[in-house]
């Protein structure tokens, strides 16, 4: 499971790097913050969904 999350984090880091490379302005910092916040919310939602599924099936 850790490998799965590492792959997701690596993907989002690549996306952030690509955007930062092509956007040379203070806006890129804001874009990084927005993407990081969106990723954190997505990761939290996935974790809660996995916990709910595990609770349903009794772990």
Contacts of 5 (CB under 8 A, 6+ apart): 43
| Residue ranges covered by each domain of the chain | 2-56
Other CB atoms within a 10 A radius of the CB of residue 31 amount to 16
Instruction: Identify whether the C-beta of residue 19 lies closer than 8 Å to the C-beta of residue 35.
Output: yes
1 pLDDT above the threshold of 80 = no
Other CB atoms within a 10 A radius of the CB of residue 28 amount to 15
pLDDT confidence of residue 41 = 87
Query: 2: pLDDT confidence band, cut at 50, 70 and 90?
Result: low
What's the pLDDT tens digit per position in 17-54? 777 666 666 666 777 788 888 888 888 888 888 888 88
Contacts of 44 (CB under 8 A, 6+ apart): none
pLDDT confidence of residue 23 = 61
Query: 58: pLDDT confidence band, cut at 50, 70 and 90?
Result: confident
């Amino acid at each position: 499971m850790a490998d799965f999350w590492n792959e997701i984090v690596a993907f989002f880091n690549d996306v952030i790097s690509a955007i930062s490379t092509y956007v040379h302005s203070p806006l890129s910092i804001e874009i990084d913050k927005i993407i990081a916040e969106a990723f954190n919310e997505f990761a939290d939602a996935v974790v809660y969904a996995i916990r709910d599924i595990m609770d349903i099936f009794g772990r």
